[in-house]
Amino acid sequence: MALLLELEHSARKVSAGEILWQENARVDLFCVVKEGWAYSYRNLINGSMQILKVYLPGDVIGMRDFGFTQRLSGVAMINDGVVCPFTYQQLFDLFRHSPALTAGIIAIAVRQQAMLTERLVYIGRHTAQQRLAHFLYEIYVRLDRVGAVEAGRFSLPLSQEQLGDVLGLSAVHISRMFTMLRDEGLVLRERQQLYFPDPGALARMAEFNDAYLDESLPSVFHSLAQAAPSNSL
């Protein structure tokens, strides 16, 4: 717990739209999202953007850059929030003192990669309606696990343009897909508030398989946590 809290000592407020780091910048920091939402992105030569990952409170940003000297993607805030930057040295201290937390950090990085893989499958092999439904349901599942969903309702601070940049669709197309989901009684939207009358029906329509969001760890992880000595304090 002490090691984890060390990563949150330098909390700072950030504003909507603020860029935490640019593409190709030097890799020197990682951070934990304490409040607010963020996203990683790549700018394309034609002026468009591809959003790679949406980060929610509690997520660790920057682990994809671990082992690189330059950033593979930029990161920006979606809304106002609080982030907690931490250095390579703090991460190395954690690795050195706690094998269990080291395994946990690796598991987080692997899960983030699994989410990118799932997005690739959906962008390449599913309809626009299924792409949007799948993404919305994924956000719903992630928020529900941290208690941010109430009776099927939750906040989605992403604009239609940003949703288009996530899913490879135009903002107009996103609007049409929301209309289709509303007409089918699957997703009701009022500004940044969404409501799923029947989450199970939405998951079935999107052919959602939540295996890539499974939070359970192999038993060997639990054995490691129990057996590893603590020499951090």
**What pLDDT score was predicted for residue 219?**
72
Residue 70 lies in a domain: yes
Same domain, 138 and 70: no
Local mean pLDDT, 10-residue blocks, the chain (233 residues): 74 96 95 95 92 94 92 97 93 87 85 89 90 96 93 95 95 96 96 95 94 77 59 40
**Domain at 180, CATH number:** 1.10.10.10
Which pLDDT score, from 0 to 100, does residue 232 have? 38
Neighbours of 122 (CB within 10 A): 22
Residue 15 and residue 67 in one domain: yes
- Cα–Cα distance, 180 to 182 (Å, whole number): 5
- For the beta carbon of residue 23, count every other beta carbon within 10 angstroms: 15
| 108 is a domain residue | no
Same domain, 134 and 57: no
Residue 223 confidence (pLDDT)? 65
What is the distance between the alpha carbons of residues 129 and 118, in angstroms, rounded to a whole number?
16
Please report, to the nearest 10 degrees, the dihedral formed by the alpha carbons of residues 83, 13, 50, 136 taken in order.
Answer: 80
**d(C-alpha 188, C-alpha 81), whole Å:** 26
On whether both 134 and 67 belong to a single domain, the answer is no
| CB-CB neighbours of 37 under 10 Å | 21
Structural domain includes residue 103: no
Does some domain include residue 222?
no
Helix (H) or strand (E) holding 138: helix 128-145
**Tokens found for residue 131:** 């792409």
Supply the CATH number for residue 83's domain. Answer: 2.60.120.10
State which residues form the domain around 128: 120-213
What Rg value do the Cα atoms of the chain yield, rounded?
19
What is the distance between the alpha carbons of residues 228 and 25, in angstroms, rounded to a whole number?
36
User: Does one domain contain both 37 and 92?
Assistant: yes
In a domain, 51, yes or no: yes
Residues 13, 65, single domain; the answer is yes
178 neighbors 132 (Cβ within 8 angstroms): yes
50-59 pLDDT, tens digit per residue, is 999 999 998 9
Q: How many domains does the chain have?
A: 2
pLDDT on residue 159:
95
Provide the pLDDT for residue 128.
94
